[in-house]
Amino acid sequence: MTADAPLDGLTVLEISSFVAAPLGGMTLAQLGANVIRVDPPGGGADFGRWPLAPSGTSLYWTALNKGKRSVTLNLRDAEGQRLLGGLLAASRSGGGIVLTNAPGRGLLSYAELARLRPDLIHLQIQGYRDGRPAVDYTVNAETGFPLITGPEGAAGPVNHVLPAWDVACGLYAAVGLLAAERRRQRTGAGSEITLALADVATAVAGHLGFLAEAQIIEEARPRVGNHLYGSFARDFATADGERIMVVALTRRHLTDLAAVTGLTGTFTELERLLRADFGEEGDRYRHRQVIAALLEPWFSARPREAVEQALSGTSVLWSRYRSFADLAADGTLGQNPLLREISQPGIGPLLAPGSPLVMDGADGPRPAPELGADTASVLTGLLGLTQADVRELARRGIVGAPSGPPG
C-alpha cells in the first residue's frame, strides 16, 4: 500500500468474527488503513467457516480479511491483556481505534479500554441496541422481508442467501469510525459508538419506504415472484433454456422493448382497451401479467445470443442469469479492473476484488494473512519487544506462532 493511500497512517485494532465487523475492517484496510486483526491462538469462531478450499483453508475467512495484519493473543491471560493495551496505546497518531463485535462488557468494553487510552474511538457491533444477541438471519426474519420474497402464492417465508444486514452493518461501521476520527482530529475527544444489527435492518427498511407503506397502506405488499414491485421487470426464458432479466423503468425503456419485439401497435391498442398509460410505472405494474404474456413468445422463440443481440443498443436494461460458476469461468473476469490475481496462502492464485471505490492512492487487493503471521513484527515494531521476548511469549501460550493458512 502506497504512502498516499487515502487512509495511510490510520491504525485500527479489529477484534471480530463472522461478517459485519471483518467487512468493516477490510473496507478500511483496502483504503490504506493499518488494520490489525487480533485473534486467539488457533483462531476464532469463524476461522474455519465454509466454504473451504480443497486444502481445508476457509475461503470465507481469507476473503473477509484481505490486506489486514494478523496477531494472535491469549486475552484470557493477564499478560495477553497487557499486550493488547500496549498495542492500543502504542500509535498515538492515527491509532487508538477499536472495531469489535465482542460482548460489550469486561476487557474489550469501551469503559475498560478508555482507561488505557482516553481518546479511544471504540465501535462495538451488537445484535440489538440493548445488547441482546442477534444475527443477520434472525434480524431478517423479524423485519418482514422473507414474507414478501419468493414466488406468488408461497405459503411460508423465503430467506435470502445474501446476508444483507451484515454487509450494510459493516459499511456503516467503517463510516462511523471515520466520522469519529475526523471529530477527534478537531476536538481531541474519543468516541463510544454502538451499532446494532437490528437497527441497521430497521433503518434500511425505513429508508426504502417499507415501514411507511406498512403504516399508511392497509393492504399488505404481496409476493410478486420475479416481477419488480411498482414497475415492470421480469425474467424470460429463451429458446435454448437460458433466462434473461429485463427491466423497463421508464417510458423509453418500454417503448424500445415494444419496438424490438414488434409489439408497438399491440401495446398501444392494449393501453386503449385498458384505459392505461404504460408510460406510467404504476400502470406498467398493474398490468404486468398481460405485458409479460405478450412478451414471452418473442423470447421463447429465440436463443439467448439472438435476444442479447436484439436488445443491445437499445435503452432496455437487461442481463443474462449466470451462476457463480459461470461468472468464475468467464474469460473476461480477469479484465475487470476491480479484480487482481493474488497468491493466497493455503489456496494459491485466485482473482480477488479490491475496493470498489476508485480514487487516487487506492491499491488493488492484497492477500489475507496467515493466522498470527504478523504477531512478531507487530509486537517488536509497536511495543519494542525483542524476538526472544516473542518466542518466550509463544512458549508460554500468550501469543500464537504463525499456524499456516486458516482451515
Cell 509497536 belongs to residue: 382
- What gap in Å lies between CA 2 and CA 171, rounded to an integer? 23
- What gap in Å lies between CA 317 and CA 325, rounded to an integer? 23
Helix (H, G, I), strand (E, B) or coil at 365: coil
* Residue 46 falls in the annotated catalytic set: no
Cα separation of the two ends of the chain:
27
- What gap in Å lies between CA 324 and CA 330, rounded to an integer? 10
Amino acid in the structure at residue 80: G
Residues 6+ apart with CB under 8 A from 320: 242, 243, 244, 245, 304, 308
- Burial status of residue 326 (CB atoms within 10 A of its CB: 0-12, 13-18, 19 or more): exposed
User: Residue 128 carries which DSSP code?
Assistant: S
The three-state DSSP-derived secondary structure of 281-347 is HHHHHHCHHHHHHHHHHHHHCCCHHHHHHHHCCCCCEEEECCCHHHHHHCCCHHHCCCEEEEEECCC
- Name the nearest CA neighbour of 200 among 128, 102, 103, 124: 128
For residue 51, is the peptide bond before it cis, meaning its omega torsion is within 30 degrees of 0? yes
User: Residue 66 carries which DSSP code?
Assistant: T
Phi, psi of 167, deg, nearest 5:
-65, -50
- E strand or H helix at 79: helix 78-90
- Name the nearest CA neighbour of 134 among 183, 195, 186: 195
Given the residues 46, 136, 166, 374, select the one marked as catalytic.
Answer: 166
Q: Which residues are catalytic?
A: 166
